[in-house]
Chain A
């Protein structure tokens, strides 16, 4: 086990490492194009004679549709097609996992913004005006917006209001501890807020099929959904992945892709759509708002005896990823702690609120905020340091999760906590001129030193790596070598997570050639699955490695045979092939002699089980852990919070690209900070309020804290390719809980709600 430590792990590794291959800070190939603004995103697409699409969305969260009249819209000059539920030739319902979402609402609308009709016209304004001219007569219904009332409410959907219920029971229900703490926690609705516009282009094909140019994060799943909806064979629909401008969840809303393809098929013309920010907020999935009720039992020394929890996820109107989010929430309900007795009831319920789905760390993030709140309460009740009470309970390899699964991967939780606990604290604001101090509210802002309190808080988080509960997490990749240059063909989508850089590094490492290109992804390639839960670092990079190794063998086998030695005795570096004894020395190009070598390989991790009726089962392939210490300054009169520093120690398995890894951790922490302090898409009565970046602020550079990576524990996970773990999600999960803990420490207030509103951070003067 090696450990990167100290103030500048990134800089240290950079200095000593080679410029390519595994472990080097290889820069992304598209960095220059993105910086110069020449990188083609979906919104930049163009086709000769294209039409523009607009979608009519429901203004009501719950209503019966009495009548839809499209005559006025059709009659408008420039309008080429108007489609509703009547124009869907294939399956009327779609969805990830469960097909429970209509392409267009037919009899009822179940959430604000649900698509009802779509228009294609020769100008975007004409299309929007025509969409607005569609007459829809609604009978407005009372929306169900309180998830607690969803159980007893009239079914909102033929599938019922309960999407999934997991009752987890582990250990002895009668067990009691000497100390008991209870808490109620709420987590708001975070939006993945992809900065690039959501856009797409559909082009009809002469064979009656259609090509969709979209910023998909899972092209094959999107193709299958689209083909089913269009009533076409899967091979007549092709999804081409255009430049994805960042994705931390399911980026594109199928509510847009499907109408786009239908319009292209109907008109025979290319059709383009660019979503406004408002549509983006209304259409795509959000993080599940969650209500959590907890009771922790511990002995007098602070060792956990029993954790009881009730977790209620608001799924919105459709199932989407709620089932897997609930599984993560229930399985990780107690956190990375050893607890002998755990009893959790988890529900995901249907409401008329905006749709919830996959957003990094779903399920795990919400429970982290709650169980870490409980650990702080326990520490306060026992009179222990918050870090100490956590240290007495940390999980390690060989311990059991509450699902009965043994943790077989590295789980250096105690080591992570120790690293952040022992790290130096950031200095207090310094300097004679107080007006230049960076206080909550900014420099020369409203903050006043006398009203500012500093707080330090800890949180430990965990996520599962790869899809859980029996998902077939397979990926396929092809590697080609020719003229001393290698090409990777893999449908794994580069969403900004760095997969293409990693794929290049893998091939550089195995084949010893520096020039490696990764082709753009589309559905003519074999499937690689969704870009989520660190999959591509594991299965897709794993597939690339296997394919590259097969190419290597093909390349070296004839040489080895000729010289009577085994392939293992030959090595390739910088395009040169040498034998162990130096007798043989040739180049890759010479050996290839104009030939091309191809190999395709798959990577499929060991299978997992679905959680059974008691919430038990080996549901996860891998786990990743993180410890964060947050230092915040709180203006206790105004309730404004500034995160000063977040110190991160993370279990990464192996550092594959130091600079990229640091960037992923910083990005994750910042997204978590948004959840902690400002991001909450408000939807009173089911109607989304202020769906724009003024109403839904994101952290800016001034809000973002110093993210200090104090330790990266490199304990390789033997079952993972390269031993590496996914790094992006776990800081998102952990950071909000750490910030909440720090605000708790600064103010003495309970802080049981995320995001933390100013009124929750105000210390009322003692009268």
Chain B
């Protein structure tokens, strides 16, 4: 006789449409949706998680591609990093493509998805600062129908996923302007970000939006620095900045994201991180305006 109750989850459902997936989740509220499994299965394998049931999202073709909708791109949550890294996608949303290309070794990029990156919400999730800078929103499919909310509301836990809800799409405004994503890892091969910076130029709204990843639990937006630098740019002219302005912007962003502690000297690791964020922000702005 064995106490072995089956090492895999007892129930694995493989729905072929979003509706079926939502139904499956509603039928078994303890089920866990799984897409690429690059985070989830690692947790299962190390014994941290034993889901009672799994809803596999791999066969839902409607969330594995993208479409255009009113000047925005509607990205399926099942888009893999590998797909997002390809040139056609890079022409559309360059910063997200750059983040996807740096998200890990090919094996991980082939399996890991955009939706998974958001659902895991790791501080080092590479797509997250890009989504924050793009002011993307997520569309959640649930038993009560769809709802849309800013990605930052989901990431900060302001408006979390409700029971039975599934991350279906990500809506990203198409800006037709330069955008960059830069990541520091200390190595040349794929690695977790020490810090990352996503920066997008939005000529229609005359904004520069910047988001810093990996330095805090959620991506940070240095709003004051964004406004300051947007005020310096000649939006009707060349849209270029003096190198000193880029440097000052970097310092501004870094100080905003890694603030001084009143009365205490910053520890060396924080000083180092601030220097890294400053260099990344300066380079990101420089490249976006080049």
Contact = CB atoms under 8 A, between A and B. Distances in A.
Interface of A: 77-78, 121-126, 128, 276, 278, 438, 440-442, 444-446, 448, 451, 637-642, 677-678, 694, 697, 699-703, 757-759, 762
A438 B283 CA distance: 17
Nearest to B250: A637
Contacts of A125: 4, 7, 47
Contacts of B184: 441, 446, 638, 640, 758
Given A694-B192, A700-B105, A123 B3 contact: yes
Contact of A699 (B1, B2, B189, B276): B189
A640 B275 CA distance: 13
A276 B42 CA distance: 12
Contact of A446 (B1, B7, B47, B280): B280
Given A78-B3, A122-B2, A759-B272, A642 B46 contact: no
A570 B206 CA distance: 91
A441 B185 contact: yes
A700 B186 contact: no
B188 A640 contact: yes
Contacts of B280: 446, 638
Given A276-B46, A703-B188, A762-B275, A444 B3 contact: no
A642 B272 contact: no
A701 B2 contact: no
B47 A703 contact: no
A448 B286 CA distance: 11
Contacts of B7: 124-125
A110 to B, nearest CB: 26
B79 interface: no
B188 A446 contact: no
Contacts of B275: 637, 762
B101 interface: yes
Contact of A638 (B4, B190, B279): B279
A276 B47 CA distance: 10
A128 B105 CA distance: 31
B98 interface: yes
Nearest to A444: B98
Interface in B274-288: 275-276, 279-280, 283
B102 interface: yes
B187 interface: yes
Interface string B53-69: 00000000000000000
B101 A637 contact: no
A78 B4 CA distance: 9
A445 B181 CA distance: 8
Contacts of B192: 694
B221 interface: no
A642 B268 CA distance: 24
Contacts of B190: 442, 700, 702
A440 B188 contact: yes
B15 interface: no
B189 A700 contact: yes
A664 B283 CA distance: 40
A316 B39 CA distance: 33
B91 to A, nearest CB: 14
B4 A640 contact: no
27 contacts: A78-B2, A121-B3, A122-B3, A123-B4, A125-B7, A276-B47, A440-B188, A441-B183, A442-B188, A445-B183, A445-B188, A446-B183, A451-B279, A637-B275, A637-B279, A638-B184, A638-B186, A638-B280, A640-B185, A640-B187, A678-B186, A702-B189, A757-B186, A758-B184, A758-B186, A758-B194, A758-B276
A278, A446, A677, A697: which has the most chain B beta carbons within 10 Å?
A446
A132 to B, nearest CB: 10
A642 B187 CA distance: 7
Give chain B's interface residue range (CB within 8 Å of chain A): 20 to 34
Nearest to A701: B189
A188 to B, nearest CB: 14
Nearest to A697: B191
Contacts of B186: 638-641, 678, 757-758
A77 B189 contact: no
A689 to B, nearest CB: 14
A703 B46 contact: no
A123 to B, nearest CB: 4
Contacts of B2: 78, 122-123
Contacts of A699: 189
Interface in B251-287: 268, 272, 275-276, 279-280, 283
Nearest to A758: B186
A749 to B, nearest CB: 14
A-B pairs, 9 with minimum CB distance: A78-B3, A700-B189, A702-B189, A123-B4, A703-B189, A446-B182, A637-B279, A642-B188, A758-B186
A121 B3 CA distance: 9
A701 B105 CA distance: 10
B5 to A, nearest CB: 8
A697 B102 CA distance: 15
B272 A758 contact: yes
A77 B101 CA distance: 48
A409 to B, nearest CB: 38
B46 to A, nearest CB: 7
A122 B4 contact: yes
A666 to B, nearest CB: 16
Given A445-B183, A700-B189, 14 more contacts: A123-B2, A126-B4, A442-B102, A445-B102, A445-B188, A446-B183, A451-B279, A638-B279, A640-B186, A678-B187, A697-B187, A700-B105, A702-B190, A758-B272
A441 B187 CA distance: 6
Contacts of B189: 442, 697, 699-703
Contacts of A642: 188
B276 A638 contact: yes
Nearest to A277: B46
Interface string B79-105: 000000000000000000010011001
Contacts of A122: 1-4
A438 B280 CA distance: 17
A142 to B, nearest CB: 24
B189 to A, nearest CB: 4
Nearest to B183: A446
A278 B42 CA distance: 13
A309 B3 CA distance: 59
B46 A278 contact: yes
Contacts of A697: 187, 189, 191
A172 B188 CA distance: 48
A126 to B, nearest CB: 5
A699 B189 CA distance: 7
